[in-house]
């Protein structure tokens, strides 16, 4: 099992869980297992079956865009980090 | 040892002393460090009266070295000279005249370049002591101009510590007024400032903390129309806004003008910090090429935020600013630091420059900016 780190804005879709243990040998398989456990996440993370372009996926500290994309292999000690952009800060200045 | 000068010490006047110094006499200044710092004979050695007897043999091992001693007017140096004679030094003369005449008599004189005023030296002494800061670094901070986008949760701690540490100019971009719900985290402001413009409240607080810091107030919203004017005069930009539009507009302009941006964002118990140094590391668009939907960026007023979180994240931003200004250490360029206050954990991921980045990628270089709307549509 590898671990998927759930970003704060998506925790409402995991019942508040900050990380979820998942099965799978690749990022794609791991995410499928994640969606099986928390179906509401699928629509938040994917668009038309593909990963949303505004969510970055890291295996440990490496962006999968610079590895093998969603085919990047994951092992039991790996952490998958889903990282949507976070904008929070001061209300003003916008 | 006796304090009585012995006959072996010859007193000389300034004109002769200047001549002897030019002929190779070693000049020993027995005044205190602070007197030395204000100006001293060029090439002289400082051995304060309390040190001279103990250290002279280490500094001048050869007792036949011709020595010219002086202090402010010739009293302390007369005592020191007599000690040196007793220690076996054979050729000791004492300048029996005010050292202030030295320059007027044609003597070579050094006045150290004063990077800091005595008041600045006192105020910033604790950080001037740090080797990576020193007087030069402090001077750099005093001459630096830092722009904070937002004088709210993240901007408050950043502004307070930058000002306290002597950053000379702090610009604030904020068009908001102080609201009671801000006070839980926006520590620049207080109950007596409710309804006041945040830039005005911030200026009052900063002035109370460090009157030397110049506060430049920009009571406006940062947008595509004013971003270049706002950021162009600053060395470092600190981004603490709450919406994607501003972040993309700022990023693209900062890349164009090659301004480093220290990025901070917060959400409930979580914070993120990184530093974007144009063309040296990734930019915001390298990380997130596509602008996310607004629901991923709920403001603190909607999502809530722990009061200390902007404090922690804002101070990490301030730390990045200091390293950028001083040119020391390793910044977060190329790394995104994530802080989870609930678990008190720090994680980081690497972020890379994207060769295809529309803002800073190959071909984008010095090209005109891509409007935010065109890229993120």
pLDDT score recorded for residue B368: 45
Q: Nearest CA to CA, how far is A39 from chain B (Å)? A: 19
Average pLDDT for chain B: 91
Cut 0.80: pTM above it: no
- Say how far apart CA B235 and CA B324 lie, in whole Å: 9
Query: Given B154, B198, B293, which is nearest A89 (Cβ)?
Result: B154
Is the confidence at residue A94, as pLDDT, over 60?
A: no
Q: Which two tokens stand for residue B61?
A: 């091992």
- Say how far apart CA B227 and CA B215 lie, in whole Å: 18
Query: Given A54, A83, A92, which is nearest B150 (Cβ)?
Result: A92
The label of the residue with tokens 């050729």 reads B91
Q: How confident is the model at residue A85 (pLDDT cuts 50, 70, 90)?
A: confident
- Say how far apart CA A20 and CA A2 lie, in whole Å: 8
User: What b/e readout covers B43-52, taking b as 16+ CB neighbours within 10 angstroms?
Assistant: ebbbbbbeeb
Q: Nearest CA to CA, how far is A64 from chain B (Å)? A: 11
Mean pLDDT, range B39-68, rounded to an integer: 95
Chain A residues with a Cβ under 8 Å from any Cβ in chain B: 5, 7-9, 18, 53-54, 56, 58, 61-63, 66, 81, 83-94
The catalytic site residues of B sit at 300
* pLDDT tens string B291-326: 777 766 666 667 788 999 999 999 999 999 999 999
Query: Given B267, B291, B348, which is nearest A61 (Cβ)?
Result: B348
Does residue B353 sit at the A interface (CB-CB below 8 Å)? no
Hey, of A41, A83, A90, A91, which one would you mutate to test binding to chain B, going by the most B CBs within 10 A of its CB? A90
Whether A87 and B297 lie within 8 Å, measured CB to CB: yes
Q: Nearest CA to CA, how far is A11 from chain B (Å)? A: 12
Nearest to B70 by CA among B37, B121, B25: B25
- Say how far apart CA B275 and CA B372 lie, in whole Å: 20
Distance (Å) of CA B121 to CA A19, B125, B155, B161, B343 = 50, 5, 27, 18, 41
Nearest to B174 by CA among B219, B231, B215, B115: B219
- Say how far apart CA B225 and CA A36 lie, in whole Å: 46
DSSP B305: B
Hey, of B301, B349, B358, which one would you mutate to test binding to chain A, going by the most A CBs within 10 A of its CB? B349
Pairing between strand B236-239 and B261-267?
parallel
Q: Which two tokens stand for residue B213?
A: 């810091």
Q: How confident is the model at residue A77 (pLDDT cuts 50, 70, 90)?
A: very high
User: What structural domains and CATH numbers belong to chain A?
Assistant: 2-84 (3.10.20.30)
- Say how far apart CA B78 and CA B95 lie, in whole Å: 8
Whether B239 and A89 lie within 8 Å, measured CB to CB: yes
Whether B270 and A89 lie within 8 Å, measured CB to CB: no
Q: Do B268 and B240 contact (CB within 8 A), yes or no?
A: no
Q: Do B108 and B60 contact (CB within 8 A), yes or no?
A: no
Whether A92 and B221 lie within 8 Å, measured CB to CB: yes
Query: Given B266, B291, B300, which is nearest A91 (Cβ)?
Result: B300
CB neighbour list of residue A72: distance below 8 Å, 6 or more residues apart: A26, A27, A59, A64
Whether A88 and B300 lie within 8 Å, measured CB to CB: yes
Q: How confident is the model at residue B369 (pLDDT cuts 50, 70, 90)?
A: very low
Whether A90 and B272 lie within 8 Å, measured CB to CB: no
Cα B346 from chain centroid?
Answer: 27
Q: Do B336 and B287 contact (CB within 8 A), yes or no?
A: yes
User: What structural domains and CATH numbers belong to chain B?
Assistant: 10-110 (3.40.250.10), 144-367 (3.40.50.720)
Q: Do B156 and B240 contact (CB within 8 A), yes or no?
A: no
CA angle B29–B33–B36, rounded 5-degree value: 55
- Say how far apart CA B267 and CA B271 lie, in whole Å: 6
* pLDDT tens string B75-127: 999 999 999 999 999 999 999 999 999 999 999 999 877 889 999 999 999 99
Distance (Å) of CA A54 to CA B289, B306, B321 = 7, 25, 28
Residues of A with Cβ-Cβ distance to B222 under 8 angstroms: 93-94
Q: Nearest CA to CA, how far is A33 from chain B (Å)? A: 23
Does residue B351 sit at the A interface (CB-CB below 8 Å)? yes
Query: What count of residues does chain B have?
Result: 377
Helix B155-164 × helix B308-326 angle, to 10°: 40
Q: Which two tokens stand for residue B249?
A: 């507009």
Which has more pLDDT, A85 or B238?
Answer: B238
Is the confidence at residue B370, as pLDDT, over 60?
A: no
pLDDT score recorded for residue B8: 78
Q: Which two tokens stand for residue A5?
A: 């780190």
- Say how far apart CA B256 and CA B189 lie, in whole Å: 34
- Say how far apart CA B180 and CA B168 lie, in whole Å: 30
- Comparing B87-101, B184-198, B242-256, which segment has the lowest mean pLDDT? B242-256
- Say how far apart CA B68 and CA B260 lie, in whole Å: 54
């Amino acid at each position: 099992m590898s671990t998927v780190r759930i970003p704060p804005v998506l925790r409402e879709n995991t019942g508040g869980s900050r990380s979820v243990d998942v099965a799978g040998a690749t990022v794609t398989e791991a995410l499928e297992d994640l969606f099986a456990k928390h179906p509401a996440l699928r629509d938040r993370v994917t668009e038309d079956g593909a990963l949303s372009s505004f969510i970055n996926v890291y295996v440990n500290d490496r962006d999968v865009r610079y590895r093998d994309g969603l085919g990047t292999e994951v092992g039991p000690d790996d952490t998958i980090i889903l990282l949507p952009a976070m904008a929070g800060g001061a209300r003003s200045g916008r | 040892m006796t304090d009585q000068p012995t006959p072996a010490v010859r007193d000389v006047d300034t004109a002769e002393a200047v001549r002897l110094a030019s002929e190779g006499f070693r000049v020993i200044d027995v005044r205190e460090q602070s007197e030395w710092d204000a100006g001293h004979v060029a090439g002289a050695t400082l051995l304060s009266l309390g040190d001279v007897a103990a250290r002279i043999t280490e500094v001048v091992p050869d007792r036949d070295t011709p020595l010219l001693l002086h202090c402010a007017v010739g009293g302390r140096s007369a005592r020191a000279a007599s000690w040196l004679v007793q220690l076996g030094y054979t050729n000791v003369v004492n300048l029996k005249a005010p050292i202030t005449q030295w320059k007027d008599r044609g003597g070579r004189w050094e006045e150290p370049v004063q990077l800091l005023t005595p008041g600045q030296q006192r105020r910033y002494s604790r950080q001037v002591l740090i080797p990576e800061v020193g007087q030069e670094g402090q001077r750099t901070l005093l001459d630096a101009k830092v722009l904070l986008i937002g004088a709210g949760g993240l901007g408050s701690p950043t502004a307070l510590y930058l000002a306290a540490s002597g950053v000379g100019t702090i610009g604030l971009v904020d068009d908001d007024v102080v609201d009671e719900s801000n006070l839980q985290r926006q520590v620049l402001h207080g109950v007596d400032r409710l309804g006041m413009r945040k830039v005005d409240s911030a200026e009052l607080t900063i002035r109370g903390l460090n009157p030397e810091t110049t506060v430049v107030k920009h009571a406006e919203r940062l947008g595509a129309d004013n971003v270049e004017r706002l950021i162009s005069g600053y060395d470092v930009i600190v981004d603490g806004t709450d919406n994607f539009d501003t972040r993309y507009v700022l990023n693209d302009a900062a890349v164009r003008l090659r301004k480093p941006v220290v990025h901070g964002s917060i959400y409930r118990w979580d914070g993120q910090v990184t530093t974007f140094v144009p063309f040296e590391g990734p930019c915001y668009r390298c990380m997130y090429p596509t602008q996310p939907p607004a629901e991923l960026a709920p403001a603190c007023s909607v999502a809530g935020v722990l009061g200390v979180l902007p404090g922690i994240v804002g101070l990490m931003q301030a730390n990045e600013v200091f390293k950028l200004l001083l040119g020391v250490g390793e910044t977060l360029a190329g790394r995104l630091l994530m802080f989870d206050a609930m678990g008190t954990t720090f994680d980081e991921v690497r972020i890379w420059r994207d060769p295809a980045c529309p803002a800073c990628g190959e071909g984008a270089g010095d090209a005109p900016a891509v409007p935010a709307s065109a890229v993120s549509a």
